[in-house]
C-alpha cells in the first residue's frame, strides 16, 4: 500500500521571516500613496511591539482591526503592483537561513511546503512563490468593485488555521500524523496540534511553556540572510529564478517615482 503524501506547514512572520510581513510594506504603501506618514509611524510602532512582546490574542486582534481600517478603500490592483515591484527589496533580507534550510530538507524528502499566515493573501502569495511553496493559506480581504471594503472574508488565525489545514489535508490526501508544522506564537497552538510533528520556532513565552508541557521541540532561528544568496532545489520558482527573469528589486520611493513619471507622460 502506497504511503499517503505529507506536508510541512510554516507560519510566516517570525518563523520564516524576521518581521511582520504586512507591516514590512508600510513604507512602500506610503510611497505609493496608500497611507499617510502617521500610519507608517503607527505601523513602525506596531512592528516594534510585535517583535518585542510577541503576538497574543489581544495583540493580534488589535493588528486585525488596524489593518482592516487602514486598507479600506485601497485599490487592489495598486496593492498587488506595489508588492510585486518591492517584494525582493523588502522581504529578501528578512528570510531566516534556518527556515530556508528546513524548506529545502522537506522538499528533498518529498513533502509539500505550505505557508500558513494571518497576513493578507496579496502579500503572502508572492512571498510563497518566491520561496517555492506549493500552497498558501492566508487571510482574504473582502473586495467590491476592485477595492477593499475593510471587511475580512477569511481570517487565517488561531483555530481557523487548523481548520484550513485539515480541509487542505482532506483535499490533498495528507497524512496529518506524518506532517510537520512550525510557528513562533501560542496563537498557533491549534495549528501545531493538528500535525504529528509540531515545532516551536523562536517561541513567545506562552508557546515555550506549552511546548515544554507537551514535549514539542524548540528551534531558534536567528540568521536572516539575503535569499538570493541561497540556491533552492530546482522545480519551483525561486527568488534567484525571478531575478534572472528580470524582476529587479526596487524600493518604494523608486516605484512611486516611476509610477508618477508614467502617469505624467
From the candidates 13, 184, 188, 204, give the one annotated as an active-site residue.
13
Residue 13 catalytic? yes
CA distance 97 to 16: 9
Is 97 a known active-site residue? no
Closest CA to 194 of 116, 96, 99: 116
238 and 95 in contact (C-beta within 8 Å)? no
Alpha-carbon Rg for the chain in angstroms? 18
Q: How far is it, in rounded angstroms, from Cα 145 to Cα 140?
A: 16
Return the SS3 of 120. strand
Beta strands in 155-260 (DSSP E): 180-183, 197-201, 218-219, 224-225
Positions marked active-site: 11, 13
Amino acid at each position: 500500500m502506497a504511503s499517503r503524501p505529507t506536508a510541512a506547514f510554516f507560519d510566516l512572520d517570525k518563523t520564516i521571516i524576521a518581521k511582520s510581513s504586512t507591516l514590512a510594506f508600510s513604507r512602500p504603501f506610503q510611497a505609493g500613496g496608500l497611507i499617510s506618514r502617521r500610519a507608517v509611524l503607527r505601523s513602525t510602532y506596531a512592528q516594534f511591539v510585535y517583535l518585542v512582546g510577541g503576538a497574543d490574542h489581544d495583540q493580534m486582534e488589535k493588528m486585525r482591526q488596524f489593518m482592516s481600517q487602514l486598507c479600506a478603500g485601497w485599490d487592489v490592483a495598486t496593492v498587488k503592483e506595489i508588492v510585486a515591484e518591492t517584494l525582493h527589496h523588502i522581504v529578501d533580507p528578512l528570510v531566516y537561513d534556518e527556515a530556508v534550510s528546513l524548506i529545502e530538507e522537506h522538499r528533498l524528502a518529498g513533502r509539500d511546503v505550505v505557508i500558513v499566515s494571518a497576513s493578507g493573501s496579496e502579500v503572502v502569495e508572492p512571498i510563497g512563490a518566491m520561496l517555492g511553496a506549493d500552497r498558501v493559506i492566508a487571510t482574504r480581504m473582502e473586495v467590491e468593485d476592485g477595492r477593499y471594503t475593510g471587511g475580512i472574508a477569511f481570517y487565517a488565525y488561531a483555530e481557523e488555521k487548523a481548520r484550513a489545514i485539515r480541509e487542505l489535508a482532506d483535499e490533498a490526501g495528507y497524512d496529518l500524523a506524518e506532517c510537520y508544522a512550525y510557528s513562533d506564537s501560542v496563537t498557533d497552538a491549534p495549528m501545531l496540534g493538528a500535525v504529528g510533528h509540531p515545532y516551536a520556532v523562536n517561541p513567545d513565552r506562552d508557546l515555550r511553556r506549552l511546548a515544554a508541557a507537551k514535549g514539542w521541540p524548540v528551534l531558534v532561528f536567528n540568521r536572516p540572510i539575503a535569499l538570493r544568496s541561497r540556491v533552492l532545489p530546482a522545480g519551483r520558482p525561486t527568488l534567484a529564478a525571478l531575478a534572472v527573469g528580470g524582476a529587479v528589486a526596487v524600493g518604494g520611493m523608486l516605484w512611486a517615482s516611476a509610477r508618477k513619471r508614467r502617469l505624467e507622460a
